[in-house]
Structure 1
Amino acid sequence: MNQNIISFKMFIRNIFSDGMLSAIICIPLILAAIYRFVFPLIVQHYPMLKDFSLYYPILDLFLAIMCPYMICFASALVVLDETDMKINRYITITPLGKKGYLISRLLIPVLFAAIVSFVLLSFCSVSGMSLWTTFIISILATILSVVAAMIILAYAGNKVEGMALAKVSALVMVGLIIPFVITDSIQYVFSFIPSFWVAKFLISNNYWFILPTIFLSGGLIYLLYNRYNAKI
């Protein structure tokens, strides 16, 4: 465990020594501040926005996903950068090993992302969701972010390709808005997207909708991890 923590500290130093990665990490904090302080002022000056309160949960879903996505994205870029410089090969033959390397670069950041997502959403939600729902949404959003990160790691050969693939990986989030804009049965055409079921859960508060999110995301993570694992 000590080796994992040491490696994680090195990961943190890598992020904050890179201006772009530091900015990426700060984006969710800026967004949360806008939700908390700016959005209420806008609604106060434009009361007609209250008529669109039905769509406020979309904003909360966006905030919930933004934090873990940005952290996982930064984590993926660090891993790709270390792959470019062959650092990961040296690290994986140390006592840390491949397992410890992946824990320090993926698992620990993911757990941290889930906590931060929950805290930000708890204080900055605009739809007034309950604390329990906030907790579940934060966990599911983090799982979706892992899928996005694994797409980058599985298919990108370097940091530049990773940044390009980030746009593609973000498509796994498109399902978050589908149930809000398509209210009839046609929406289920998008049911293969894990994020679709996150939105369905938030709208209906039906806990059964959590299962498709977990199963679909888990399957994608498994396939993508195997592809990535074959590369390192």
Structure 2
Amino acid sequence: MISIFAPILMALFFRFATPMLDVAFFEGTTFTSSDQKLVIGLLLLLTTPVMIGMMSGFILLDEKDEGIAMSIAVTPFQLKGYLLYRLTLPMIISLLLAFPVLMIGGFTEIITLRILPFLLLILVETPIIALFMASVAENKVEGLAVAKVVSIILVIPIAIYFVDHPAMMIAGVLPPYWPLKGYLLTMNGWHLVDYLFVLTGILYHLLMLLYLLKRYERAIR
């Protein structure tokens, strides 16, 4: 329940705090209110799947500790059916929350058809984060430490907006880099290099998801 309401509460905070932040820190600078809304809007868009993914990761860890996942694996439902349920439902929740969170926060400028391919990539972050936590951490205590590391990816929207340097490609090892950077690249229209960038991001997400699925299965067995 906390993971569902946290993005909504953040959206409410930024809705009223953004004008004050603009006056307090950015008045007289080249960082306009539209820039601020774009960065914070992308941050909120990423927060939803990250929060849901972290909570899903804790559920997977809890059921791994209790032996529930392995018990289900020997039933006709099998481990694949268990994972399909555990990972699909959080993605649906993230999808249902994504646009309402942006609307509550007042960041409706981001809600365009152009965001749809990147939104689908962002939603895949939910199972990736859940599987990363469940396969790396041995128990819920370690899961708390891993969750702290996962939360670092929330700075990506800020970093890629302000740092325009080839070295930022290093951040490409983190899956959220691809949809957020792709969205910023296509703000002035689509070009061939943008299509290649998005395709690379899709392939990277699929490979990451496949790798984490295999790793989680090994951890369970």
Following the alignment from structure 2 to structure 1, what is the Cα–Cα distance between the partners of residues 163 and 28? 21
The letter of the residue matching 1:31 is M
Tell me the alpha carbon deviations over residues 137-165 of structure 1, each in whole angstroms, 9 at most, x when there is no partner: 43222222332222111111111111111
Instruction: Provide the residue aligned with 1:8 in structure 2.
Output: none
Contact kept? 1:76, 1:153, Cα under 8 Å: yes
Identity of aligned residues (%): 25
The letter of the residue matching 1:144 is E
Tell me the alpha carbon deviations over residues 112-145 of structure 1, each in whole angstroms, 9 at most, x when there is no partner: 2123113322453537124223434432222223
Contact kept? 2:135, 2:212, Cα under 8 Å: yes
1:132–1:49 CA distance, 2 compared to 1 (3 A)? farther
Contact kept? 1:150, 1:224, Cα under 8 Å: yes
Instruction: Mark the runs of 5 or more structure 1 residues left unpaired by the alignment.
Output: 1-21
Instruction: Provide the residue aligned with 2:207 in structure 1.
Output: 219
Following the alignment from structure 1 to structure 2, what is the Cα–Cα distance between the partners of residues 41 and 178? 21
Instruction: Provide the residue aligned with 2:17 in structure 1.
Output: 39
Q: SS at 2:181's partner residue?
A: helix
Question: Number of paired residues?
Answer: 210
Instruction: Provide the residue aligned with 2:181 in structure 1.
Output: 200
Instruction: Provide the residue aligned with 1:139 in structure 2.
Output: 120
Runs ≥4 residues deviating over 6 A: none
Is 1:27 the equivalent of 2:6? yes
Contact kept? 2:171, 2:177, Cα under 8 Å: yes
Instruction: Provide the residue aligned with 1:58 in structure 2.
Output: 39
Instruction: Mark the runs of 5 or more structure 2 residues left unpaired by the alignment.
Output: none
Contact kept? 1:56, 1:127, Cα under 8 Å: no
Shift of 1:74: 0.9
Following the alignment from structure 1 to structure 2, what is the Cα–Cα distance between the partners of residues 112 and 162? 22
Following the alignment from structure 1 to structure 2, what is the Cα–Cα distance between the partners of residues 146 and 98? 15
1:91–1:192 CA distance, 2 compared to 1 (3 A)? closer
1:116–1:230 CA distance, 2 compared to 1 (3 A)? same
Q: SS at 2:110's partner residue?
A: coil
Following the alignment from structure 1 to structure 2, what is the Cα–Cα distance between the partners of residues 107 and 215? 19
The letter of the residue matching 2:55 is A
Does 72-81 or 122-131 show the bigger shift? 122-131
Shift of 1:63: 0.6
Following the alignment from structure 1 to structure 2, what is the Cα–Cα distance between the partners of residues 230 and 24? 28
Tell me the alpha carbon deviations over residues 23-50 of structure 1, each in whole angstroms, 9 at most, x when there is no partner: 23321111122233x1355368668288
Alignment of 1:1-232 (within 5 A): 22-36=1-15, 38-39=16-17, 41-42=19-20, 48=27, 51-53=30-32, 54-126=35-107, 128-205=109-186, 206=190, 207-208=194-195, 209-232=197-220
The letter of the residue matching 1:153 is A
1:179–1:127 CA distance, 2 compared to 1 (3 A)? farther
Shift of 1:227: 0.8
Q: SS at 2:147's partner residue?
A: helix
Following the alignment from structure 2 to structure 1, what is the Cα–Cα distance between the partners of residues 129 and 83? 16
Contact kept? 1:58, 1:176, Cα under 8 Å: yes
Q: SS at 1:230's partner residue?
A: helix
Q: SS at 2:79's partner residue?
A: helix
Does 206-215 or 97-106 show the bigger shift? 206-215
Contact kept? 2:7, 2:47, Cα under 8 Å: yes
1:139–1:113 CA distance, 2 compared to 1 (3 A)? same
